[in-house]
Amino acid sequence: MAWLDEIQSPQDLKKIPEERLPEVAAEVRELILHTCSENGGHLAPSLGVVELTLALHTVFDAPRDRIVWDVGHQAYAHKILTGRRDRFPTLRKYGGISGFPRRAESPYDTFGTAHGSTAISAALGMAAARDIAGEDYNVVAVVGDGAMTGGLAYEGMNNAGGSRKNVLIILNDNKFSISPNVGGIAHYLTRITTTPVYRELENDAWKLLGMLPALSKEARTVAGKLKRGLKRLTIPGVLFEEMGLQYYGPVDGHNVHELITVLRELKKIPGPVFLHVKTVKGKGYEPAEADACTFHGLGKFDKVTGKAQKSSSPTYTNVFAEVALELAAANPRVVAVTAAMCDGTGLAKFRDKYPGRFFDVGMAEAHAVCFAGGLATAGAIPLVAIYSTFLQRAYDQIIHDIALQGLHVVFCVDRAGLVGEDGATHHGVFDIGYFRQIPGIVLMQPRDENELGHMMA
């Protein structure tokens, strides 16, 4: 039986026996894989959250309950389960459905998300509006694919912890953004998930409590203190709980039954809750699991072999990458900076040849630009390679931290102009306007590969 034929909405999903949900997951994965092989798309991120999506739509009552998908390219399974299965083959095509959540497309897309780290702030705003209106729906933010390397996520968490609003934040921890995650938070999460002492102590504590009669309010308080005490003994920092969030996990993000059980329990807990879910990016498709960077987002490919259809023509990104290497070879002061887009901006070869002069700062464009300013004050010549649409997030830093001080920073603006399949959120159509009005900026637009090289020099 084709389960997807029976699912036109999350209400239909709830009618399917829980023990059959792994079969539904397999069908969803096959549809995502087939469509991306024909149209291109963000394959690996969406394959990794299929079970989590099934669990969310089983436990929560969307669209009354609000689910916000951070970054947005994790939302393919969500689209399939919310009445857009028949239109899913139009993904990324003209007139077709968007590759990201889009409010105008469906009431299930509660917030437009395509740039990382926005979901927590948006979800908290929804929760605040809910409380003002005296309503009682649930609000869930699903954060992942590197969004935790962006500062906006921490601003949202800090506010959520202080507000005490009822909101559930789910971290889809797959160790990747577009490239492997970098920075302190990535190492912190690894320490959490590799601390067996804590997991054993926590399990033993809950087994003991489960042997007791129905807990009184006082006993529940003691149980909570016990759990917090265990964390302080075994996990360094307890970052999320110190921010005022109630931390749970890590949980296996591919065990749909465990996810459903956990989510049902967390629905009952008041205040801001943080659920840490471990997933595999590209889950269920061997080439994507083996090479999550390549299969993060790609064009058409052979789904049997996993080989992508490559153009024989060089791209501006390719040419930029080669010129950057030439400049670095000729001048030891040349360094490269990117914001979680090493592969997308063509800097992988630079990273491999000059690791000490390459800086990937994570999904943190504002920090990348200010960091480049610091480099420039000490005599380095930073090549800052960021997509046009993402560089918008660092507009203040371009003005205040670079231009106002007259610092020598070269902004290498990738994906400028209309970018087709990714849609409006990724169209780099404002860069000429926002650069031209800044005093001291030299703005150059190459007409061909040769001119690009001369301009960079």
Predicted pLDDT at 139:
98
Name the token pair of 183. Answer: 């920075």
pLDDT score of 307: 84
- Mean pLDDT is lowest, of 208-222, 321-335, 336-350, 355-369, for 208-222
Given a contact cutoff of 8 angstroms between Cβ atoms, the answer to whether 181 and 213 are in contact is no
Average pLDDT along the chain: 87
Is 283 an active-site residue? no
- Would you place residue 56 in the very low, low, confident or very high pLDDT band (cuts 50, 70, 90)? very high
Contacts of 56 (CB under 8 A, 6+ apart): 62, 67, 140, 142, 263
- pLDDT at position 189 over 80: no
Q: What is the pTM of this model?
A: 0.83
Distance between CA 38 and CA 30 in Å, rounded?
12
| Confidence at 424, pLDDT banded by 50, 70, 90 | confident
Q: Tell me the CA end-to-end span of the chain in Å, nearest whole number.
A: 62
Of 92, 102, 231, 365, catalytic: 365
* DSSP label at residue 438: S
Quick one: pLDDT at residue 22?
Answer: 96
* Per-residue pLDDT tens over the stretch 70-98: 988 899 999 999 999 999 999 989 889 99
Among the listed residues 102, 165, 278, 393, the single catalytic one is: 393
DSSP 94: T
Q: What phi and psi, each to the nearest 5 degrees, are found at residue 224?
A: -65, -40
The residue annotated as part of the active site, out of 29, 92, 227, 281, is 281
Distance of CA 277 to the CA centre of its chain: 13
Q: Give the mean model confidence (pLDDT) for residues 139-157.
A: 89
227 tagged catalytic: no
**Residue 374: what pLDDT?**
97
Answer whether 237's CB lies under 8 Å from 195's CB: no
Contact, 341 vs 179, CB < 8 A? yes
Q: pLDDT over 70 for what percent of the chain?
A: 85
Distance CA 76, CA 96 (A): 13
Amino acid at 215: L
85 in catalytic set: no
Instruction: Give the pLDDT score at 224.
Output: 64
User: pLDDT higher for 225 or 346?
Assistant: 346
The predicted-structure confidence for 241-260, as pLDDT tens digits, reads as follows: 888 899 998 899 999 999 99
Position 218 scores a pLDDT of 66
Per-residue pLDDT of 306-348, as tens digits, reads 887 776 678 899 999 999 999 999 999 999 999 988 988 999 9
Give residue 178's pLDDT band: very low, low, confident or very high (50, 70, 90).
Answer: very low
CB-based contacts of 153, cutoff 8 Å, min separation 6: 70, 116, 117, 119, 120, 143, 147
